[in-house]
Amino acid sequence: MNCINNISRTPIPSDVTMLSLQLYYQMGRNEVYQKLFSKDEVFLSLQLSYREAYAFYKCFFSELKIPESRLKTLQLDSTVANNKAEHLYKNILRIFRVIHDKDAQKFHLNTTEISDLAKILYVNYLSSDKLSFQKLERSKHSLLTSEITSKRELLEELIKKVDEMHKQKQFEPMMLDLNFIVDWLHMDIFKFEEQRPLATLILYILLLQENFIVTRYVSFFEKLLLNIKEYQSLLDKTRFGWSEGFSEIMPLLRFMLKMYLSLYQQLYEQARDYEYENSLEISKSDYIENTIDKLNDVFSKEDIRLKHPLISDSTINRTLKRMQEENKIRPLGKGRSAKWIKLYQKEKKPKIQEQLNFDLE
């Protein structure tokens, strides 16, 4: 509880304050985004849950080698997991579907729900003993006897302090939740070794419930995957001086603020494209072809999905097939990660100097 106990004495650098102000300015459009995407909220949530699950798996469990084609198949409810790694991925999918289900119950920060979340994440992957709380030995007044208790009690005490701080509204929510996660992570609450995936997942849920709604529409873990080494390094740094109450948490907070600012910028662009798509009178297939025309000579279906998250895979596939039959593109390989190459040269616009080079004769 060293971070939470010392949070009131933590100096806030001016750049962190400015980043916080910029982030809350972007959050002022939350209601606009919610209203804009309301018609397609169910479809968006399902697609985002798949993307978050995939990126979360790649962030923390990339050493478990599951073929890309199999990861796609495991998204189907009818697919049965064949080994521990596949059970883990099915668990991850289940968690993100619940998180992004608008009718799901709110996550309450208490020991029971944290324990239940750990069990859902690691069921059929870790043993039940590994998912239990660590034991803590406390000495009595007698030199010959000691009392064995669970670290669950320490977690309950930590959560109680965090709840009181939330109610008093004395601290910025992201900073408070981040301090809680760092404390919880370094207290080694559970018996299993690597607790960062669970800690990051809890932070993700808490911030979503703190009105950082950008992760309802844009993938947080895809962005984290691009910066996962830096994130892991910053988590490592928070351990230095933590036992003395001087954990270096500001670099991690600065990192998270920049992450969420970047996500809000991405959401702004996605909302702009969404409004534009809805105002178009041309067919979706023609619109996809226009997007392909602007992509690099070699591109993937994922590049198209990023530009058009609300257009179905069947529409994208029909467009690719039509363009292939028209001899405009051809595939480079097969499967989820297959690439496509253009068979035509995009007409280049003349440069300003070329335009001004008139032939006066």
- Taking only the tens of pLDDT, the chain with its 361 residues reads 688 888 888 889 999 999 999 999 999 999 999 999 988 888 889 889 999 999 999 999 999 989 988 998 999 889 999 999 999 999 999 999 999 998 888 899 899 999 999 999 999 999 989 988 888 755 454 555 555 577 888 889 999 999 999 998 889 999 999 999 999 888 888 888 889 999 999 999 999 999 999 999 999 999 999 999 999 999 999 988 888 877 889 999 999 999 999 999 999 998 988 887 777 656 778 888 888 888 888 888 888 887 777 777 778 888 888 888 888 888 887 766 678 888 887 655 555 555 555 555 4
Total count of domains within the chain? 2
What is the Cα–Cα distance from 154 to 199, expressed in whole angstroms?
16
- For residue 337, the enclosing domain spans 283-342
Q: Which residues contact 262 (CB under 8 A, 6 or more apart)?
A: 223
The verdict on 257 and 292 lying in the same domain is no
Q: What CATH number does the domain containing 255 carry? A: 1.10.3290.10
- pLDDT score for 198: 95
- pLDDT score for 213: 94
By C-alpha distance, which of 267, 263, 266, 291 is closest to 277?
A: 291
The verdict on 305 and 186 lying in the same domain is no
CA separation, residue 158 to residues 145, 206, 290 (Å): 27, 15, 54
Which of 236, 253, 273 is the last residue before a domain boundary? Answer: 273
The verdict on 329 and 226 lying in the same domain is no
CA separation, residue 255 to residues 2, 28, 182, 230, 231 (Å): 21, 21, 14, 9, 8
In a domain? residue 361: no
188 and 243 in contact (C-beta within 8 Å)?
A: no
In a domain? residue 351: no
The verdict on 291 and 187 lying in the same domain is no
By C-alpha distance, which of 90, 125, 113, 111 is closest to 153?
A: 111
The verdict on 257 and 296 lying in the same domain is no
In a domain? residue 348: no
In a domain? residue 278: no
In a domain? residue 204: yes
The verdict on 198 and 170 lying in the same domain is yes
In a domain? residue 357: no
Estimate to the nearest angstrom the gap between the alpha carbon of 20 and the chain centroid.
Answer: 19
What is the Cα–Cα distance from 119 to 111, expressed in whole angstroms?
12
The verdict on 179 and 295 lying in the same domain is no
200 token code pair: 């990051």
| Beta bridge partners of residue 147, listed in sequence order | 138
For residue 329, the SS3 value is strand
The verdict on 101 and 173 lying in the same domain is yes
